[in-house]
Amino acid sequence: MANGRAEVGAPDEIQVVTFKLGEEEYAVDILSVQEINKLLNITRVPKAQSYIEGVINLRGNVIPILNLYKRFGLGTQGHTDDARIIVLQHNDIRAGVIVDQVSEVSRLKTSEIEEASKIYSSINSELIQGVGKMNGRLVILLNLHNLLQV
């Protein structure tokens, strides 16, 4: 993280998948991305958390799908043709998140990532790992450990 010194053994950069949610751009470490799909048939789950959109059957595996608008407390939003499901794997948790549009795969220098506690956001800071500067724009790097706790 950017604090004037690099962490011992930490990579100089990470590869991330960036995506849009409304007007904001977010990123997740590419090593956690299992696959990216068009919106699939989502089955609702009664009495699930409000941000759980439902589940999908992905080649015989039942995957919970999170609505990031609801998870971040941003209200609700309709889906467009560009919407995708990013299936993520973090530790032993596998889940999908619905995003408005997948942007790109790029490299993010760890020295260009500011800690979440130093930024202002309407999103719970526990869901944010940091904010990275990429090609003159800011991307919010998500904390998958906290995000995927369903």
Those residues with Cβ within 8 angstroms of residue 106's Cβ, 6 or more apart along the chain or in another chain: 15, 16, 18, 134, 135
Those residues with Cβ within 8 angstroms of residue 113's Cβ, 6 or more apart along the chain or in another chain: 1, 2, 129, 130, 131, 132, 141
Q: What is the pLDDT of residues 51-107, one digit of tens each?
A: 999 999 999 999 999 999 999 888 777 788 899 999 999 999 999 999 999 999 999
DSSP H or E run through 26 = strand 24-29
Question: Could you state, in order of their start, the residue ranges of all structural domains in the chain?
Answer: 13-147
Q: What is the pLDDT of residues 22-60, one digit of tens each?
A: 889 999 999 999 999 999 899 999 999 999 999 999 999
- Whether the pLDDT of residue 8 is over 80: the answer is no
- Tell the CATH topology of 13-147: OB fold (Dihydrolipoamide Acetyltransferase, E2P) (2.40.50)
